[in-house]
Amino acid sequence: MKKISAILIAIVMLGGLLCGYAAPAAALDNDYALWQEKTRAALTGDMSSVVSADSSNLAWGSSYALNAFCRAYQATGEEVYLEKAGGYLYEIFQLAQDNDGDGYKNWGTGEYNGGKYDEFCVHTGALLSSAGEWANLVLSSPRLLNKAEPVSGMTYSALCDYLVGEATRNMIPAFDCDWNRRLGIYMNRPGSGNYGGSTDKISLPNNQFLAMAAALIQFAKLSPERETQYLRRAKAMLDAFHCKLRYNCKGNITRWNYKDKYFLCDKSASKEDFSHGMWSARAAIMGYANGLSFSEDNIKAFARVYKGMVRGTAEEPLLTERMNGSGSQDNTLYLFIYDLSPFGDAIWSTGYKTAVFRDDVRAVDTARILAYHEAAPAPLAFGLLAPESGARCRGRTLFRWEPAVHACKYTLQISGREDFADLLVDRASILDTSAFVEGLPGGMTLYWRVAAANQGGRTFVSEPSMIVTEHRFGMLQEKWYE
């Protein structure tokens, strides 16, 4: 699949947005207010280039921009970022068509098959991952639900319903025929040439099916009737990838591959590169946050892998092309890799130093630098949303809270005691404003709270809320639909 290059993103996505913001390197000091200004100038300008019917542009450009809007909103609380993203999402979804006659509207491209139109799991998954992130953030901001979104004319709540309906009726099931239940991954569609022109039934590279895993986690939170199916598939893909990771004697992840052998007819594994590895790391972070796969220590190990790729000097760090330290040494930190910042201090500082000393900042990266800026103010007060106080819960439960302005990560704590002295759940470094929890003991009164924090260590802890878990005895076993 196409390598995510800095040139492509700069040309397709930015369109010269940062012209006039190429300040002298000496002026780019450690100033949080400066990055607020840069983010506002970049993302509130003309970003209409994110709207496309070409799935390649949507995956390797639009999805990053939409994620940047969400990060900017969380960092500043300014509603303009969600408004801009909502309008673009509406226009993008309006462009979806059933061009291949399979009965499902989707986006596709002819770029990889000599002009022959086809639809790609990784492209749809990447766009839906960011669309679902936006919708979940809106649902975590109750004051916006009845507000009108200017482009669609819908309320934010109705626009969320529209996006969820289109995704769950069309885009996601369009790839059901490619799902391999035994292997727990999406495959290359025979005859399609979806991966490197191959017409064989082979497994997709890790990043390609993991992009869809990230999307399924987001839409499991938005579509309760499909929650079980989506989470089971996401977990299967994450577990399959987890089994292929390489570990050293200390239990740390040392590297992973771009493509692994999952299927009998698969070709030999190939080494992962920096840009595609971002999607694998992103999916792993989401798997950890929702209790599906990977531990916090695992994600810290992902951050150490990127730290181990750093070359150059302390003032102007560069990264190797490959995850194992091989290849060219002219890459810089950007895009989703900043989401590893809560798991490894070197991630943000390396990216920040690159931006300062190379004077090289993409518009879609300014929001990420701002979100994880070490000088951010303390998080503002926020509230817990669901489950409501006193709610009766059983089985898997979705916990949702309001975004705390200036926070870049959250810790979800659940205890059987009001003073939280004995924690049943203590899940740190959640990047979203919601998370699934499964396996809570039944027949208990439990208390939950969320601590919001920024990268500088400033925190705000919510007021606690209470739930009652029902006994699991006699409950019908949950059916995992495929």
Q: Which of 329, 349, 371 is the last residue of a domain?
A: 371
Q: Are residues 249 and 122 in the same domain?
A: yes
| 451 contacts 414 by C-beta, under 8 angstroms | no
CATH of the domain at 411: 2.60.40.10
Domain assignment present for residue 376? The answer is: no
Q: Are residues 328 and 465 in the same domain?
A: no
Domain assignment present for residue 377? The answer is: no
Domain assignment present for residue 476? The answer is: no
* Nearest residue to 178 (alpha-carbon basis) of 430, 482, 443, 447: 482
Give the global pTM. 0.91
Domain assignment present for residue 34? The answer is: yes
Domain assignment present for residue 265? The answer is: yes
Domain assignment present for residue 324? The answer is: yes
Q: Are residues 193 and 76 in the same domain?
A: yes
Q: Are residues 190 and 253 in the same domain?
A: yes
With cut-offs at 50, 70 and 90, classify the pLDDT of residue 471.
confident
Asked if pLDDT for residue 473 goes beyond 60, the answer is no
Number of separate domains in the chain: 2
Element (H, E) at 257: strand 257-259
Q: Are residues 126 and 188 in the same domain?
A: yes
Residue 475 has what pLDDT?
Answer: 44
Q: Which of 371, 394, 413 is the last residue of a domain?
A: 371
With cut-offs at 50, 70 and 90, classify the pLDDT of residue 328.
confident
- Residues 90-106 have pLDDT tens digits of 999 999 999 999 999 99
- Residues 13-43 have pLDDT tens digits of 433 333 333 333 334 446 899 999 999 999 9
Element (H, E) at 452: strand 444-453
Q: Are residues 117 and 154 in the same domain?
A: yes
Q: Are residues 345 and 460 in the same domain?
A: no
Domain assignment present for residue 279? The answer is: yes
Of the chain, the end-to-end C-alpha distance in Å amounts to: 27
- What's the rounded Cα separation, in Å, for the pair 292 and 290? 6
Residue 6 has what pLDDT?
Answer: 37
- Residues 168-212 have pLDDT tens digits of 999 999 999 999 999 999 998 776 655 665 666 889 999 999 999
Domain range enclosing 340: 6-371
Q: Are residues 69 and 197 in the same domain?
A: yes
CATH of the domain at 296: 1.50.10
Asked if pLDDT for residue 233 goes beyond 50, the answer is yes
Domain assignment present for residue 291? The answer is: yes
**Strand, helix or coil at 398?**
strand
* Nearest residue to 99 (alpha-carbon basis) of 152, 170, 162, 169: 170
Q: Are residues 289 and 220 in the same domain?
A: yes
Q: Are residues 366 and 388 in the same domain?
A: no
Q: Are residues 352 and 431 in the same domain?
A: no
